[in-house]
Structure formats: C-alpha cells, structure tokens
Structure 1
Amino acid sequence: MKLYYSPGACSLSPHITLHESGLAFEHIKAPTKTHKLPDGTDYYSINPLGYVPLLELDDGTRLTEGPAIVQYIADQVPEKNLAPANGTVARAQLQGWLNFIATEVHKGFSPLFSPATPAEYKTIAIDKLRARLQWVDGELAGKDYLMGEQFSVADPYLFTVTNWASAVGLDITGLAHLAAFRARVAARPAVQTAMKEEGLRK
C-alpha cells in the first residue's frame, strides 16, 4: 500500500493508523502547496482533487477521505481492535465520532488557514471551534480515549486536528481532559514514528 500525505495535515491520522495496524506500507510526500511528488509527478494526476490523504492499495485501487481510509485499515486487522465490528452499535458510535471530527472540528479549522478569510469571521470560527472542543473535553472525562478504554481510529484524527490549534490562535490549554488525551495519544509509539517520518519531531 501507498499513503500519500502532506506533513502535519489530516493525512497524519491514517499515517498513525497504518503504524498502529502493523501493515506494510510506503509513505509518499504530496505537499499541499506544490502538489509535486518527490519524483516530480503532478499529484493531481493521482488525485484530481489535489488533497490528502489518498491510500493506494496493492491492486491499484485508490481510496480517499480520511474517515473511510482509517476504517478500511482497521478492518484489515480486526485483531488490533482499532474499530468495533461492522453492524454493531459501537461501530456506529465510532462513525459518529469520525463524522463529528470531520464536519465540526476539521472543517472548522479550514477558514482559519486561509489568508482570504476576514478577521471578524476568524473570530467567530475560533469561538465555535472552542465550543465544540469544550464539549469533547466533557465527553473525555473519565475516559482514556474517545471510545472509552480502547484506542480506536477516531483518536488519531482528533489528535491530528487539535495539533493545529496553536497555529491559528485557538487556545485549548484550559481543556484538561483533552490535554490528557492528547498527551496519552502522543506517547504511543505509532504516533511518534509517524510524526518523525513527517518531520514533525526529531
């Protein structure tokens, strides 16, 4: 398998998940600013939308959208318990978390990275994001991870998007349960390996 990623982008989530899975894969840098691969290939020829992540399977099939990719990875290694079984209430709850992170948190950051976004709107967006993360903080009370004691594919996604907070001026320092969660996830060997491979840690 090949994972196309951009350092620190949302593709860090499947990058971490792949290391958690133990599956063999190659990671290929596809910077979102240049869209040029290390060998000079135009990334748009691989993903016409131009964004990451993209997972190319050994048979050439290409999967896009992080929440779909991480569930596919989890289902290849059910013994790792990265996702509950399909058709269960727990799986629907996991999908609820993935959808919430994608639509309410991840996309909430998008306008904050755009120079074209008016300053007054950025203030509104930051307030909304903080409100969402305050709710998440409450949900994490008494839990190690989003699904409880068991680490799942939703956890690297929340970890990845909350990594962006300081870059956009979103103060999350007072969210104690979220801070403890982030420290717990950051300490995992798979997370440290993925971040080193993306040049985010020495």
Structure 2
Amino acid sequence: MNLFYYPAACSLADHIALIEVGLPYKLLSIDREKKTEDGRDFLLINPKGYIPTLEMDDGTILTENQTILAFIAEQSGKLLPDGGILRWRTFEALAFMSSEIHGSYTPFFRGFPEPEKERAREKLMKAFAILADQMGDKAFLVSDEMTIADCYLFWVLMVAPKSGVELPGNLQNCLDRMKAMPSVIQALKEEGLS
C-alpha cells in the first residue's frame, strides 16, 4: 500500500495506525504542484487533490481519514472494538474530530484575519472540552485501549498550539503519552518531524 501524505498533516493519523497495526506500507509525499514523490500527477490518483490517500497494490484508491482509518482497522483486526457501543463511540469520535475540530483549524493554516481566528478558537475550546469530558480518566479517548480515534486525536492535539488554544489537562497528558509511543515516534521520524 502507498500512503500519500504531507509531513505533519492529518495523514499522520493513518501513518500512525499503519505502524501500530503492522501493515506494510510505503510513504509517498506530495509537493505543492500536486506531484507525487514517485513522479505521478496526484490529481490523477485523487481528483479531490488532498491527503490522506491510500493506494492499494491493485490500484484501488481510498480517501478521507475516517474511511482509511476504518479500512486499516478492518484489514488488521486491530484498533477498533469488535462490537458494542465502544465501536460506535470510536466512529462517533472520528466524525466529531473531523467535522468540529479539523475544519476549525483552517483559519490558522490559511492566514485568515484575527476575528475569524478568534471564532475558530472559541469553537475549538468547546470541542476540546467535549473530548476531555468523553475521555475522563481513561488512558485513551474511548477506552483504556488505543483505537483508530486516538490516531486521529494525536494529530488534532498536536496541531492545537498553532491555534493558541490550551488543551485540557487530560488531553495534554494523552498527547504527551502518545508522543512516547513507538508507533508515534516512528511516524514522526519517517515524516522528518523529530
């Protein structure tokens, strides 16, 4: 499998998951002109033009973080509870982070004016408070076992300093613990971030 990525972008979640479950993969970076590291036109691979994008050995393409993370979990039989409410809480957390947190970072990446950034900060503070309540005193977001939601959580927490929003204590502690995990250390190293 090929994982198309930008260093430190949200594709880091999928990268961590691939390492954590032990599936073989090759990282291929994308440049600003939408060319892949191996010389292809990325827009022919993924017309949406953004990452993450996962290319299977047979040429099948998957996009969208939630979908790729679920695929990785299904292929490996890891990082997703088999059934019951924790499985659905994992998907719920992924959807919430994707819709309420990820999109709220846009003003900080694209040079929006300060009033837009302030509205985004307010939304982020509320969203992080909700995640902190959901996590409570568990080791990870939905349980004491790591799930695909935690792979995405790592990225949304890692990016928080760019917004100027302080993380609730349990989320900051989770981020600090995850930074010491072998899969996270390896992913950060492979993306040139350590």
Q: TM-score range by the shorter chain?
A: over 0.9
Instruction: Give the Cα separation in 1 of the matches to 2:53 and 2:161.
Output: 26
SS of equivalent to 1:165: helix
Instruction: Give the Cα separation in 1 of the matches to 2:169 and 2:124.
Output: 16
1:195 match: 188
TM-score calculated relative to the size of structure 2? 0.94
Q: How does 1:24-35 map to 2 (within 5 A)?
A: 24-31=24-31, 33-35=32-34
2:154 match: 159
Question: Post-superposition shift, 1:94?
Answer: 1.0
2:173 match: 180
Question: Post-superposition shift, 1:38?
Answer: 2.2
Q: 1:109 aligned to 2:108? A: no
Which amino acid counterpart does residue 172 of structure 2 have in structure 1? A
Which amino acid counterpart does residue 80 of structure 2 have in structure 1? A
1:38-65 CA-to-partner distances (Å, cap 9, x unmatched) read 2332211211111000011121110000
Instruction: Give the Cα separation in 2 of the matches to 1:160 and 1:150.
Output: 18
Identity %: 38
Q: 1:18 aligned to 2:1? A: no
Q: 1:64 aligned to 2:46? A: no
Question: Post-superposition shift, 1:186?
Answer: 1.4
1:112-139 CA-to-partner distances (Å, cap 9, x unmatched) read 2112x23212111111101211221222
Which amino acid counterpart does residue 102 of structure 1 have in structure 2? S
State the number of aligned residues. 194
1:90 match: 86
Which structure features the higher share of helix residues? 2
1:41 match: 40
The partner residue of 1:148 within 114, 118, 143 is 143
Which amino acid counterpart does residue 142 of structure 1 have in structure 2? D
Structure 2 unpaired stretches of 5+: none
SS of equivalent to 2:3: strand
Which amino acid counterpart does residue 143 of structure 2 have in structure 1? G
Structure 1 unpaired stretches of 5+: none
Instruction: Give the Cα separation in 1 of the matches to 2:160 and 2:14.
Output: 20
TM-score calculated relative to the size of structure 1? 0.91
